[in-house]
Amino acid sequence: MAQDDHSGAELAAADSSHAAPEFAGSTGTAVVPYDAFENPGFEPHRPRVTDQDPRREKRAQRTVYTLFYLSVLGSVWAVAAYMLFPMESNNVDAVRLNNMFIGFGATLALLGIGFGAVHWGKSLMTSAESIDTRHPISTSEATQRGAVEVFRQADEESGFSRRTVIRNSLIGALLAFPLPAVVLFRGFAPQDELPVELLSHTMWKKGTRLALDPSGVAIKASDVTIGSAFHVIPEGLTDLEHGKLEEKAKAAVLLMRLEPDELNQTPERESWSYEGIVAYSKICTHVGCPVALYEQHTHHLLCPCHQSQFDVANHCKVIFGPAKRPLPQLPIAVDDEGYLIAQSDFTEPVGPSFWERN
Amino acid sequence: MSTASTRSPAPVKRSFTAEASEYVNDRTGLAIAIKGLGRKAFPDHWSFLLGEVALFSFIVILVSGTFLTFFFQASMAEVHYDGSYVPLKGVEMSVAMASTLDISFDIRGGLFVRQMHHWAALLFVAAIGLHMLRVFFTGAFRKPREINWVFGFTLFVLALGEGFTGYSLPDDLLSGNGLRIIDGLVKGIPLIGTWTSFLLFGGEFPGTVIVGRLYALHILLLPALLVALIGIHVVYVFIHKHTQFAGPGREPTNSVGPPILPIYAAKAGGFMFIIWGVISLIAALFTINPIWNYGPYDPSPVSAGTQPDWYIGFADGALRLIPPGWEFVLFDRTWSFNILVPLVVIGIFLLLVVAYPFIEAWVKGDTREHHIADRPRNAPTRTAIGAAGVTFYAALWAAASSDILATHFSLTMEGVIYALQAITVLGPFIAYFITKRVCIALQKKDREVVLHGYESGRIVKLPGGEFIEVHQPLDEYDRWRLVSYESYQPLMLRPNARGKITIGQRVRASLSRWFFEDRIAPVTQGELEASHSAHH
Ligand code: FES
């Protein structure tokens, strides 16, 4: 069996003479000392107390059948509990009791059988161990050669390796035939939509009012006091017939008001805020959880999923955590009636990064 | 075997069992299985029960899950909830969520079955993990069991898949957030990510199809694979016969233990009911996944401190440990290393796990069958590698709770992450080093005990006035438990038949040196005699 010419058979001081011959094989780098101890053979069998003391045996027997009877009791109790503890509307406690008492019955039923059977096995069944002989897993070499021979003969009779043109065309056909099945998977998503397209736009448009999440009530700039933060959705989102969650998953925004001098705005974004009110995408640029935790005194936003932190005072730059990109900013303004509105859509895709994003 | 009926015309009174088995055997030929397997010895050790725990909890999952399918509706169509749980009355949610609430609040015992299903699933994955550790640390993956290790590993991966798909089905806030993370992860994969996510969710996240698709995987494809593989896995346990620890009378060529019928059947069967009972008790007492507290999925809210099911933790933790800024735009494309690195690292980790038996076999060059389980200390390098792996996994896992660690111990979030980053990188090395030293120390201790006996605790005063503790010699049975292992020595580089030293051989030699240079050999007869004569 030692066909592996790198095997350590030739170098190890190995002597596998004490191993059974049918378990032959290279010992590799195992060291088999010549004067290793001999297996002393089985220890003498020790009888258990239940084997020697009839009273103990009786008692064990009693324990076993008591457990089995308890199990029956448990089953009956579970059925009774099903009827005795109905689940009532507006009553969480009733649900809890129903769950608990059915569960206790089932538990008793199961544990009774379990402990009973184990106890029976341990204390009353004959305790002698069996001894099996192991045989090598591999079949005899003749059988193995026979199997190889079968393949050789099949090859011979079919001409599989001789008739190369047939063989190669078959391989080609076999490679090609699953392709249609693969193509069918295109149908997993709508045919007329492109992901990159969809990911690049949200519901926000020039003039869309910022509304409260979840009520959908538009927000006036005067409602946003310094230090406050609002969860925001585009007005009209709640009225959508279709795709409400999909739109919300892109359009959710956090609105915060800081002292205007606390904001370090770049010149080109100065016009994106309104008197210290800023709006940022709520969808984390890491893998897309909602960045829902706002720490008012530090102006930090925290994503609860993997602890990325964003600094609102500095255009939501990442200050800690695995996210890389700042949260996209939504340019806002105020309309004639004093409501906050978007100046446009986000200027970049929101949410997690994707391959085609640049 | 089945000829008795044709042979004996004389009416002999026969037992019901004999009659019945003859009837069945005449039609199935199954008697050969009973005769062959019924009295098979099944080696006994508490650690051998871990695989059984996995098997038995899987049965609970199958049965409870089937019950749940009769009530659960895997649809994401929007409805206004109109069940018994008043706080959510009128709330818009998917049919999936509403039907899960109905299972919990409107079907008697439904909550119990749901909780059994979830708890059993948690136990299932945990038991598989522990079972794998047992197999690893005792070397029970060695020839002829390497392929069964691969099957077992595949089962572990499938179990994770089952867990995650199941977690996503109720379409509550937490499961939706889990899917959101999956969506973000998938999108981060170069080249195919965006489209993969698009196809998976049937359009934009979250879409209206994902629950139904995951349901098909959860109750059809994955269970079919699991059942088939569990079957193969267990059949191979029978074919290989279970490993056993070294002990008097136990040889590589035998298998010693209680016979399957009746003792093993009674104990394992009883144990099965005990596991079921324990799951039932937990389900009766402890709420799991109270989706009514979370509410339906909505992409906007999220609550801090929520945790995924435990087995997903390591992946979530890996994401958290990435330092800021690992994402670049190169060649007009986005490379999200903050996502790729965790995926690749976990992939490599899992690959090493599944490949380990083959690596160790190659290093040793040992082609014999091994049926005696190693004591972990007797394979110090393997045990140390295992400890390193466990530490790595544990560090990732702990990272998934970094926020809870921080608030619980009033630490800063950053501090916890930095510490866990250090532990993830350095911890495995430290664990490796300590474990290896401990193993070797234990082996030396074993040698000591074999050579000089164990300390009896009895102090005697010698005539000269000095006190010594009497050492009690071991009996031959206990000695055998301590000396019956094999040690390996490092491979020496030798040119092959063509007089060359190949690169492969060099790698193998250095791995072999790493594995076996600190070798403690078992005590031999000669050494014991020498030590005795030195004493007297
Ligand atoms: S999703 Fe926000 S940090 Fe990962």
Q: pLDDT tens, B64-103? A: 999 999 999 999 999 999 999 999 999 999 999 999 999 9
Atom of ligand 1 nearest to the CA of A288: 1
Tell me how far apart the alpha carbons of residues B173 and B514 are, in angstroms, rounded to a whole number: 49
Could B491 and A8 be called an inter-chain contact, meaning their C-beta atoms sit closer than 8 Å? yes
Q: What is the mean pLDDT of residues A333-343?
A: 94
Res B305: pLDDT: 61
Greater confidence (B404 vs A103) lies with A103
First to last CA, chain B: 63
At A320, which CATH number?
2.102.10.10
Q: In this predicted structure, what is the pLDDT of residue B9?
A: 56
Burial of A314 (0-12, 13-18, 19+ CB in 10 A): middle
B161 touching A (Cβ < 8 Å): no
Q: What is the model's pLDDT at position A358?
A: 77
- Asked if pLDDT for residue B224 goes beyond 80, the answer is yes
Q: How far apart are the first and last CA of chain A?
A: 59
**Is A226 within the bounds of a domain?**
yes
Inter-chain residue contact A325 with B274, CB threshold 8 Å: no
pLDDT at A108 over 90: yes
Residue B473 has pLDDT above 60, yes or no: yes
Average pLDDT over residues A59-75: 97
Q: Quote the pLDDT of residue B455.
A: 80
B287: DSSP letter:
-
- At A12, the pLDDT band (50, 70, 90 cuts) reads very low
Query: Searching chain A, which residue's CA lies closest to the CA of residue B480?
Result: A39
Query: Mean per-residue pLDDT for B155-182?
Result: 94
Residue A332 lies in a domain: yes
State whether the beta carbon of A308 lies less than 6 angstroms from ligand 1. yes
B253/A23 Cβ within 8 A:
yes
Q: What is the token pair recorded at A292?
A: 């829902």
Q: What is the dihedral of CA A54, A59, A64, A69, to 10 degrees?
A: 130
- Centre of ligand 1 to C-alpha A306, Å, is 5
In A, minimum Cα distance to B183 occurs at A287
Same domain, A202 and A350: yes
Interval B458-464 mean pLDDT? 82
Quick check: B298 contacting A, CB < 8 Å? yes
Cβ-based contacts under 8 A for chains A and B: 421
Higher confidence at residue B461 or residue A285?
A: A285
What pLDDT, on the 0 to 100 scale, is given for residue B207?
92
- Point out the residue among A130, A214, A290 whose CB comes nearest to the CB of B302: A290
Per-residue pLDDT at A2: 32
CA B34 and chain centroid, separation? 30
Find the mean pLDDT for residues A109-133: 93
Tell me how many helices (H) and strands (E) chain B has: 21, 10
How much distance in Å is there from the Cα of B317 to the middle of ligand 1?
Answer: 11
**Does ligand 1 lie within 6 Å of residue A306's CB atom?**
yes
Question: Would you call B324 and A19 a contact, using CB atoms and an 8 Å cutoff?
Answer: no
| Mean pLDDT, range B209-220, rounded to an integer | 97
With 90 as the cut, is the pLDDT of residue A114 above it? Answer: yes
Contacts of A302 in chain B (CB under 8 A): 304
The pLDDT of residue B412 is above 50: yes
| Residue predicted with more confidence, A12 or A337 | A337
3-state SS class at B500: coil
Q: Domain total for chain A?
A: 3
Mean pLDDT of B344-363: 96
List the 277-296 stretch of B: residues with Cβ below 8 A of A.
Answer: 277-278, 280-281, 283-285
User: Which residues, in sequence order, are CB contacts of A130 under 8 Å at separation 6+?
Assistant: B39, B40, B41, B256, B257, B258, B259
In sequence order, what are the residues at sequence separation of 6 or more whose Cβ sits closer than 8 angstroms to the Cβ of residue B90? B80, B81, B82
Range scoring the smallest mean pLDDT among A193-197, B7-11, B441-445: B7-11
Confidence label for A22 from pLDDT (cuts 50, 70 and 90):
low
> For chain B, what percent of residues have pLDDT higher than 70?
97
Strand-pairing partners, residue A334, are A340
The position carrying tokens 């979370």 is B294
- Name the residue of A306, A319, A327, A350 to mutate for ligand 1: max ligand atoms within 8 A of Cβ: A306
- Which residue does chain A place closest to B270, by CA atoms? A114
On the question of pLDDT at B36 being above 50, the answer is yes
pLDDT score recorded for residue B33: 87
Q: What is the dihedral of CA B122, B126, B131, B134, to 10 degrees?
A: -170
Instruction: Compute, in angstroms, the gap from residue A321 CA to the centroid of ligand 1.
Output: 8
More confident: A198 or A33 = A198
Least-confidence region, from B48-62, B249-263, B370-384: B249-263
Distance from CA of B129 to the nearest CA of A (A): 24
Q: For residue A134, is it within any domain?
A: no
Q: Are residues A229 and A162 in the same domain?
A: no
B426-465 residues touching A, CB cutoff 8 A: none
Answer yes or no: is A135 within a domain: no
pLDDT band (50, 70, 90) for residue B5: very low
Model pLDDT for residues B276-299, shown as the tens digit of each residue:
999 999 999 999 999 999 999 998
The pLDDT, as a whole number, for residue B1 is: 41
Contact, B183 vs B192, CB < 8 A? no
Residue B255 three-state SS:
strand
Q: What is the pLDDT of residues B121-142, one digit of tens each?
A: 999 999 999 999 999 999 999 9
Does residue A294 share a domain with residue A257?
A: yes
Domain ranges of chain B: 51-296, 439-535
Cβ within 8 Å of A, B 463-492: 476-477, 479-480, 483-484, 486-492
B272 CB neighbours in chain A (<8 A) are 114
- pLDDT-derived band at B306 (thresholds 50, 70, 90) equals low
pLDDT for position A8: 37
Give yes or no: residues A341 and A210 share one domain: yes
Assess whether A70 and A182 both reside in one domain.
Answer: yes
The Å distance, Cα B374 to ligand 1 centre, comes to 44
- What pLDDT shows up at residue B308? 79
The string of pLDDT tens digits covering residues A218-277 is 999 999 999 899 999 999 999 888 889 999 999 999 999 999 889 999 999 999 999 999
Position A105 in a domain: yes
How high does pLDDT run on average in chain B? 91
Chain A CA closest to residue B504: A6
Cβ of A303 less than 6 Å from ligand 1:
yes
Predicted local distance difference test score (pLDDT) of residue A281: 96
The phi-psi region of residue B530 (left if phi > 0; otherwise alpha if psi is between -120 and 50; otherwise beta) is alpha
CB atoms within 10 A of CB A346: 23
* A349 and A204 in a common domain: yes
**Residue A181 domain boundaries:** 50-128+140-187
Give the residue carrying structure tokens 């503790």.
B469
User: How far A174 CA lies from chain B's nearest CA (Å)?
Assistant: 24
- Arithmetic mean of pLDDT, B453-457: 81
Categorize the per-residue pLDDT at B301 as very low, low, confident or very high, splitting at 50, 70 and 90.
Answer: confident
Q: Does B324 touch chain A (CB under 8 A)?
A: yes
- Regarding pTM above 0.90, the answer is yes
Answer whether A283's CB lies under 8 Å from A291's CB.
yes
pLDDT tops 70 at residue A7? no
The CATH superfamily assigned to B51-296 is Cytochrome Bc1 Complex; Chain C (1.20.810.10)
Summarize the confidence of residues B300-327 as an average pLDDT. Answer: 85
- pLDDT recorded at residue B4: 45
Q: Please state, rounded to an integer, the average pLDDT across all residues of chain A.
A: 89
Per-residue confidence at A301, pLDDT binned at 50, 70, 90?
Answer: very high
What one-character-per-residue DSSP string does B374-418 give?
Answer: PPGGGSHHHHHHHHHHHHHHHHHHHHTTHHHHHHHTT--HHHHHH
Which residue is closest to A40 within chain B, CA to CA?
B248
Give A246's contacts in chain B (Cβ within 8 Å).
203-207
Q: Is the pLDDT of residue A28 over 90?
A: no
